[in-house]
Amino acid sequence: SQQGEEDPQALSIQEGENATMNCSYKTSINNLQWYRQNSGRGLVHLILIRSNEREKHSGRLRVTLDTSKKSSSLLITASRAADTASYFCATENNAGNMLTFGGGTRLMVKP
């Protein structure tokens, strides 16, 4: 797989359920960032987790990072219809001067 690959590619859940998206990467990183993109719109920064961190929370978001497995997960708890979007992980290289994005997970939350 390529740097920053998410799975699943698509996820459909009911409102109120939790959504988990996974990201794998290949090279060493400075940090890993998660973004949301509504159809045809810009990228909204959700959360950044540094390479020396294992877990981070922000509101209904929980991100984990396992550098030994080169993987991360994004958990959205108590999902809402407004969470419907594509979610991307992006890894920052050690030089800290570029992000490599994955292909994204398309999340649909049904009301």
Partner 1 sequence: EPEVTQTPSHQVTQMGQEVILRCVPISNHLYFYWYRQILGQKVEFLVSFYNNEISEKSEIFDDQFSVERPDGSNFTLKIRSTKLEDSAMYFCASSGDGSSYEQYFGPGTRLTVT
- List contacts with partner 1 (CB under 8 A): 31, 33, 35, 41-45, 48, 88, 90, 92-93, 95-104
Nearest approach, Cβ of 15 to partner 1 (angstroms)?
27
82 three-state secondary structure: helix
Nearest approach, Cβ of 59 to partner 1 (angstroms)?
16
Which two tokens mark 89? 């992980």
Burial of 70 (0-12, 13-18, 19+ CB in 10 A): middle
61 vs 103, which CB is nearer to partner 1?
103
- CA–CA separation, 72 and 22 (whole Å): 6
33 vs 72, which CB is nearer to partner 1?
33
Nearest approach, Cβ of 3 to partner 1 (angstroms)?
10
